[in-house]
Amino acid sequence: MQTYVDPRESRKERGAFFTPPSLARFIADWAIRGAGDSVLEPSCGEAVFLTAAARRIAELGGDPRAAQLMGVDLHGGSVRRAADALRAQGIEAALTVSDFFDYRGAAVDAVIGNPPYIRYHGFSGSARLKGAEAALAAGARLTALASSWAAFTVVAATHLVVGGRLGLVLPAELLSVNYAAEVRSYLLRSFQRVRLVLFAARVFPDVQEEVLLLLADGYRPDGGGSDSFEVMQVESLADLATSRAVSTWTPALPGDKWTPALAACPSHQEIIDSQAFGRLSGWGRLTLGAVTGANKYFALSPQRSDELGLTGRDVVPLSPPGSRHLRRLRLSAADLSALGDSGARTLLFSPPGAPSPAGARYIRAGELAGVSEAYKCRVRSPWWRVPRPPVADLLVTYMNADSVALCANEAGAAHLNSVHGLVLAPDASGIPPRLLALAAHNSATALGAEYTGRAYGGGLLKLEPREARDLPVPSLDVVRSAAEPLERALPRVLELVDQGEAAAARCVVDEALGLGALIGDSGLEEIRRTRRYLAARRAARGRGVDHAQQR
């Protein structure tokens, strides 16, 4: 018999990441309650969950049969391998080669498995359409940004009998991404009990994506679910069998982010509920950065601009790609000049009017090099004029190793889409942007960033525009009243930031804002401790270490 080889790249394209048997056994043991239970494994791959299900049914005194064990997978090679593996163990199962969204089988007591994880740009065409339509029929309206697992989760539940159980390995995106709001709402209204199992160690060492276990019990297709969910946190797969404390979290709205359930902090909630804090959207209007379509062509160092003979008619000041230089809370004209002298790309080629002769030559060179055919370039006219948002008063970092940072744009530089911009509202008039940037560097905002944003590959904290708008920051009135202590604190904060002591710098800002007086020293320490825990957990997972720092 010829052995079928399933290349890793082929598995990656269809979002197939095979599950450790111990994980499948844990979910099967939870989901299967009786010897006669029926089980479906969607996207069955190598049937690791069906294998675990057969073992569980046998332990309960049953005789696993094909009528009880069902699997479906789009990939014919995987189904053939699954059939061979099950047959070698003496296990009978009914396996089907089919798109899961086309699958029509009898309702089962338990659906268990590891849905494919394909990001929205790869989950397209008829597959996306069928998934979205099937999820909508179940009552969940998914956005165009939803990855494949979201539709799989909703549709998997529809294959359950009333009272059935859903046990899935899902990306931790369930907790935090905006497009998963519909999935979060659906789970709470459709199941009487929802439990999440979270890991400190990475479950799939070769995959950066963080995963969790969804254990949803008591399916109610017509509603009658729960307003809360449970959370159990373990260090690694080896700890699944160990009894751990379970906490319960009730979101204000079912679709709200579930990230705060990782580490609830009553003191932080007290600050958020007070008049002392609001949202970043209350400071002004958040803007997206410029999308050039070809940064290497449009973002230039001063040296390169001089070599090309470009003039002020051709280029405008630019906050260079990246955000390391924005951690110092203010970007002055002198700072921008120093960055340019060091070779940073501090100029944006985007002639607002007619280009200079040197600019025209550079445009022709770009056309010869094919830059004008890049998608973002060819859909605008002229292709070489990059649309720019209004000059921002503050720049807001997008990807963060430590925490989100705001930087006063004193240089009046344009910015790319690697950062967000904030144009201050009239209500903020009279407050120097540097003080706003400084005020945002406090412990409550840092914890709010962990709750509002989400962990990204490598352990970075990512804030999309909508998430950045919701970032908790001191109210404008609080910043005005604390203007003098903030001014006095600024030199010390900059010194600490330069030394890499961001946490110590936040403590100085906390004191200048009077946060200790607002919630007490113990409350402030609780906020700092919770933020340390979440940041350490995020960073440790990014490194792939075995455990995160304990609270």
Q: List pLDDT tens digits, range 85-141.
A: 999 999 999 999 999 999 999 999 999 999 987 654 444 566 778 888 989 998 999
Lowest mean pLDDT of 205-219, 270-284, 436-450, name the range: 205-219
pLDDT digits (tens, 9 = 90+) for 316-330: 999 999 899 999 999
Q: How far is CA 337 from CA 333, 340, 346, 429, 503, in A?
A: 6, 5, 8, 27, 29
Residue 10 or 38, more confident:
38
Q: Are 380 and 402 in contact (CB under 8 A)?
A: no
Fill in the DSSP letter of residue 450. Answer: H
- pLDDT of 224 above 60: yes
- pLDDT of 548 above 70: no
- pLDDT of 13 above 50: no
Q: How far is CA 365 from CA 360, 380, 505, in A?
A: 9, 18, 47
Give the confidence band of 277 by pLDDT, cuts at 50, 70, 90. Answer: very high
pLDDT digits (tens, 9 = 90+) for 228-247: 999 998 888 888 877 777 88
pLDDT digits (tens, 9 = 90+) for 68-84: 999 999 889 889 999 99
- pLDDT of 3 above 80: no
- pLDDT of 4 above 70: no
Predicted pLDDT at 236: 80
pTM score of the predicted model = 0.79
Q: In the predicted model, what is the mean pLDDT of residues 7-30?
A: 70
- pLDDT of 201 above 80: no
Predicted pLDDT at 7: 47
DSSP string of 101-148, one letter each residue: GG-----EEEEEE------TTTS-HHHHHHHHHHHHHHT----TT--H
Q: How many CB atoms lie within 10 A of CB 63?
A: 11
Predicted pLDDT at 199: 85
Greatest distance between any 2 Cα atoms in the chain:
85
Fill in the DSSP letter of residue 239. Answer: G
Q: Are 53 and 26 in contact (CB under 8 A)?
A: no
* Alpha helix (H) residue ranges in 233-369: 266-273, 295-298, 302-308, 333-341, 357-368
How many residues are present in the chain? 551
Whole-angstrom Cα distance, residue 359 to residue 350? 9
- pLDDT of 520 above 80: yes
β-partners of residue 399 are 462
Residue 457 or 406, more confident:
406
Give the confidence band of 549 by pLDDT, cuts at 50, 70, 90. Answer: very low
Average pLDDT, the chain: 90
Report the relative pairing of strands 108-113 and 160-171 from DSSP bridges.
parallel
Q: Are 207 and 8 in contact (CB under 8 A)?
A: no
Burial of 36 (0-12, 13-18, 19+ CB in 10 A): middle
Predicted pLDDT at 121: 46
Q: Angle 443-452/502-513 helices, nearest 10 degrees?
A: 120
